[in-house]
Amino acid sequence: MNPTATSPPPAPSAPAQGRSAQYDAFHAARARTNLVASLYAQAMGEDYPVEVAASSSCDWPLLGLLTARLRMHPGQVLVDAGCGAGGIGLWLARALAVRLTAFDFSPVAAAQATARRAHFLGPAADRAVFHVGELENTDLPDGCAHGIVCVDALGGAADRGAALRELGRVLAPGGRLVVTRALRQGAEPAWHEQVAAAGLTQEHLDERPGEPAMWERLYRLWIAHTDQLRRELGQAPAENMLHEAHRMLPKVRGRRAVLLTLRRLPSAPAGEGAADRMAAPDRHPGDRPASSKETPQ
Ligand SMILES: C[S@@+](CC[C@H](N)C(=O)[O-])C[C@H]1O[C@@H](n2cnc3c(N)ncnc32)[C@H](O)[C@@H]1O
């Protein structure tokens, strides 16, 4: 699903519990059948990373961009924000030899992601931890992440500015947040103020020219498989997907999709070889109490 598109129903202003329940139903239904993955695969063709099996526009070109833009070192901490069933974070954790802490407000997604750790990381499975958390309230310590990815999830935040500030807080000096965004063709990007308010600077903007056409193919496939989706996913999850498809199909052609790389400037002065070296985070996310809601912000 594409949370830049999923509302209504339910709108981002709906209580988080209601919105996460919809995603719970989607992730649970998706795991019962191969149909959804197979439609993503048809829509993306050779660009579909089978093993990752994302619920988003994540294709091979995006994985390549994420890898290149994060510029992470082995052993550093990557956060996957709005991780869904975890494929993107786990793939990156293996490829970059980094530690992963990831969260989603859907408990079903977090549980599915946890179950996939061994597949990607084998005996090093505990290098990845997943928890239930919200974009606006991650429960993660200040400055704990050297890199953050957020793929097709920011649109699910009730307050995108608050979500960016929260992710900026979690980022260590010198760290990078790589996030997908979309806007109407010709519209001015609305995120500059939000980025500055989060204490971040825009380092790169990569166009994703194939993204709108991929959604168009996918939405047509969902509509063409209406009966099968209802049968295999159940009425409610299928209706949510079909609602999204009908609502978004007329709009996707006019869409511009980008990948933003946002950086928290290194605290050490540039010119001393520190530009790409990051301050070590004080605390590793694993240090926090497992599901404490009292973690200081
Ligand atoms: C389109 S899926 C993408 C999942 C994953 N990033 C991927 O690419 O496969 C969006 C995910 O964001 C999560 N999400 C949406 N709004 C959220 C919020 N406010 N806080 C935490 N997670 C959220 C949903 O539960 C869902 O799993």
CA distances from 145 to 79, 149, 216 (A): 6, 10, 35
* Amino acid, res. 105: F
Are 285 and 291 in contact by the 8 Å Cβ rule? The answer is: no
Map out the domains of the chain with their CATH numbers. 16-266 (3.40.50.150)
Give the span between the Cα atoms of 79 and 119, in whole angstroms: 19
Give the span between the Cα atoms of 226 and 67, in whole angstroms: 36
pLDDT of residue 12: 53
In the block, which residue shows the tokens 């953050």?
A: 148
Q: In sequence order, what are the residues at sequence separation of 6 or more whose Cβ sits closer than 8 angstroms to the Cβ of residue 72?
A: 78, 96, 98, 146, 147
Are 43 and 218 in contact by the 8 Å Cβ rule? The answer is: yes
Q: Please tell me the distance between residue 269's alpha carbon and the centre of ligand 1 in angstroms.
A: 36
DSSP assigned state of 295: -
Radius of gyration of the chain (CA): 18
pLDDT of residue 15: 64
Are 83 and 104 in contact by the 8 Å Cβ rule? The answer is: yes
Give the span between the Cα atoms of 77 and 146, in whole angstroms: 5
In the block, which residue shows the tokens 């709009």?
A: 251
Residue of 104, 105, 78, 75 lying closest to 91 (CA atoms): 78
Are 100 and 92 in contact by the 8 Å Cβ rule? The answer is: yes
Instruction: Give, using CA atoms, the residue closest to atom 27 of ligand 1.
Output: 84
With a threshold of 0.85, does the pTM exceed it? yes
Mind listing the pLDDT tens digit of every residue in the chain (297 residues)? 664 443 333 445 566 777 899 999 999 999 999 999 999 999 999 999 999 999 999 999 999 999 999 999 999 999 999 999 999 999 999 999 999 999 999 999 999 999 999 999 999 999 999 999 999 999 999 999 999 999 999 999 999 999 999 999 999 999 999 999 999 878 888 899 999 999 999 999 999 999 999 999 999 999 999 999 999 999 999 999 999 999 999 999 889 999 999 999 887 544 333 334 444 444 444 443 333 322 222
Q: Please tell me the distance between residue 218's alpha carbon and the centre of ligand 1 in angstroms.
A: 18
pLDDT of residue 188: 82
Ligand 1 shell residues, CB under 6 Å = 1-3, 23, 54-56, 58, 82-84, 88, 104-106, 109, 134-135, 151-153, 156-157
Q: List the strands of the sheet with 255-263, edge to edge.
A: 128-132, 99-104, 77-81, 145-150, 171-184, 255-263, 201-207
Give the span between the Cα atoms of 57 and 215, in whole angstroms: 8
pLDDT of residue 291: 32
Query: Of 63, 135, 149, 208, which is best to mutate to test ligand 1, by the most ligand atoms within 8 angstroms of its C-beta?
Result: 135
